[in-house]
Amino acid sequence: MIVGNKFWDEEKDAPILKRNANYINRENCEYICKRAEHFYDIMLSYIKEDINVEIKEDCNDKEILRIIKLDAERTFNKEENRKLLIQVLQSIYPITNDYHQGISFISSFLLLFLEPKDVVKIITGLHKYYLPGYFKAMPKAYVRDSRVFLSILNIFHPKLYEHIKNLITPEAFVSKWFIGLNVHVLTFESLMLFFENLLKEGEIFLFKYSIALCKTLEQEIINTSDVSKLLALLRLDQKLFPNDYKVSEGQKIGEFFLNIIHTAKTIDLSNINLPKLRDEAYEQMRLEEERRKQIEMERLLTDDEIIFSDEEDFTQAEDEPESETAGVDDENEGEIKYTEDENEKKNDKNEMVVETKNVQDFKDGKDIDMKYSKNEDFKNNDNIGKVDNKEAKNIHEKNQKYAQDNINKVHVKVEVNEKREMEEY
C-alpha cells in the first residue's frame, strides 16, 4: 500500500500513521516492505507448517460487517484503502468466528506493507498458534493472561506489582499490548522490531515486553496514585510519550521506545511455569464468576419487592384481553401487576415476565398467588399476627414455600445471562 504513487499524499494524516514518526517515507518505503515480507517466514520457522487462506468478497454477518466498515473508516482516509482493509477483516472473520477491534489494528498495520492474502495468513497464524482466544469479543484467554502478567510482575518487581494491583486490574490496560499488539502504542520503528521478536519467540515475548515496559516506567508508576495517569503511562499515551519523546537530551529520538524492546529481549522467563500460572488465573476467574452469580441471585431474592409467579396463571392472564379497568374492577379480586426484569429486555430470548396478585381479600379461599412486599399491612412478621383474617397466615406460609420453589427460577434467570457472563471484563 505504501509504495503506491498517491499514498503519501492521500494518507499522510491517516489515523494508522500517527505513530509512524516519519520512520517510513517515500524514500525508504520499498525497503520497509521487503523487511515486512519476512514476517511470514519468521512465523513459518516457529509454527513449522504453511497456512492456506482465501480472500472473501463478502461477510455473511451483517452486524459484523457494519462494525468492520466503521473500523476501516477510522483507519484510512481513502475509500480504496478502506475496501482493502474490509476485504482482509471479512476474510479473517470465518476463521476466528468472532471479531475484536484489535484485529483491525494489526491488519491495518500489516496492510501498509503486505498484500491482503499475506495479512490474512499472518493474522490466522497469530490466532491459531500464538494468541488463541485473544481475538474474541469477550476474550477469556486474554483476561487470563493479563493476570498471568501480573503474577510474573510480582516475581520480578514486587513493589510495582503491589502498586499497580492496588489501583487497577490488569485487563484494564494490557489489551493494548496483548490484543492490539502495540499498534498505536509503539512508534513504527520499534513496532517492527516488536513484531519480529513476537513472531520468533511466540507468546512468551508478550510477557517479556510487558515486564520490560513496567521496568522502564518504574519511577513514574510508583510516583502516581492517580488511576487515569497510571493508565496513560502503561498505555504509552501519545500525550505523555510523543513520537519524539526523550528521557534526556543525549538520547536520540525513538530510542526510548526501542530500548523497551531491547530490554524485553534480555528478560529470562525460562523458569516461569506458564501453564501453572494460567491454571491459577482460570481458577481465580472461576471463583469470581461463581461469586458474581451468587450476588446476582441474592439480589434477585432480596429486592424490595420479591415477585413470585405461577406459570399456569400467567398463561391464562396473557390470553385474557386487557381492559382499561383491569385489576381495579372488583376490590375483592385484588390488583394485578406485571413486571419485567429490566436486564432481560435486551434479549428477547431471555425475557421473563412474571404475573403477581396483591391480595386484599381472602373471603373466597381461592388458590391464589400473593405479592409479598413492604406494604402497610405486611411490613414485618409481627404485623401478620394482627391481621383478623386467619387465612393471611396460611397464604404467607404458602408463599414461603413459593420462595423456596422460586430459587430454581432464579437459577434459570442466572443461566440465561451466561451469554453475557464476561462482559465486565
Q: Are residues 296 and 277 in the same domain?
A: yes
Q: Are residues 291 and 232 in the same domain?
A: yes
Say what angle helices 29-47 and 116-125 make with each other, to 10 degrees.
40
Q: Are residues 107 and 146 in the same domain?
A: no
Confidence of residue 300 (pLDDT cuts 50, 70, 90): confident
Q: Are 2 and 114 in contact (CB under 8 A)?
A: no
Q: Of 78, 102, 136, which marks where a domain is finished?
A: 136
131 located within any domain: yes
Q: What total number of domains does the chain contain?
A: 3
Q: Of 103, 136, 169, which marks where a domain is finished?
A: 136
404 located within any domain: yes
Q: Are 142 and 179 in contact (CB under 8 A)?
A: yes
325 located within any domain: yes
Percent of the chain whose pLDDT exceeds 70:
71
Q: Are residues 382 and 296 in the same domain?
A: no
Q: Are residues 109 and 148 in the same domain?
A: no
Q: Of 93, 116, 136, which marks where a domain is finished?
A: 136
- H/E/C letters for each residue in 151-209? HHHHHHCHHHHHHHHCCCCHHHCCHHHHCCCCCCCCCHHHHHHHHHHHHHHCCHHHHHH
221 located within any domain: yes
- Mean pLDDT score, 274-287: 96
Tell me which of 2-11, 100-109, 271-280, 384-393 is least confident. 384-393
- pLDDT on residue 302: 77
Q: Are residues 55 and 176 in the same domain?
A: no
Question: Does the predicted TM-score (pTM) go above 0.85?
Answer: no
Q: Are residues 61 and 115 in the same domain?
A: yes
For the cut 90, the answer to whether the pLDDT of residue 228 exceeds it is: yes
Residue 325 domain boundaries: 304-420
Confidence of residue 299 (pLDDT cuts 50, 70, 90): confident
The burial class, CB within 10 Å (0-12 / 13-18 / 19+), for 319 is exposed
Q: Are residues 4 and 96 in the same domain?
A: yes
For the cut 90, the answer to whether the pLDDT of residue 414 exceeds it is: no
Q: Are residues 185 and 152 in the same domain?
A: yes
425 located within any domain: no
18 located within any domain: yes
Q: Which amino acid is at 415?
A: E
> Rounded to an integer, what is the distance from CA 352 to the centroid of its chain?
26
Q: Are residues 115 and 62 in the same domain?
A: yes
278 located within any domain: yes
Q: Are residues 319 and 415 in the same domain?
A: yes
Per residue in 99-153, pLDDT (tens digit) is 999 999 999 999 999 999 999 999 999 999 999 999 998 899 999 999 999 999 9
Q: Which amino acid is at 47?
A: I
CATH code for the domain of 144: 1.10.472.80
Per residue in 170-209, pLDDT (tens digit) is 999 999 999 999 999 999 999 999 999 999 999 999 999 9
Q: Are 274 and 204 in contact (CB under 8 A)?
A: yes
Tell me which of 174-188, 239-253, 381-395 is least confident. 381-395
Q: Are residues 120 and 155 in the same domain?
A: no
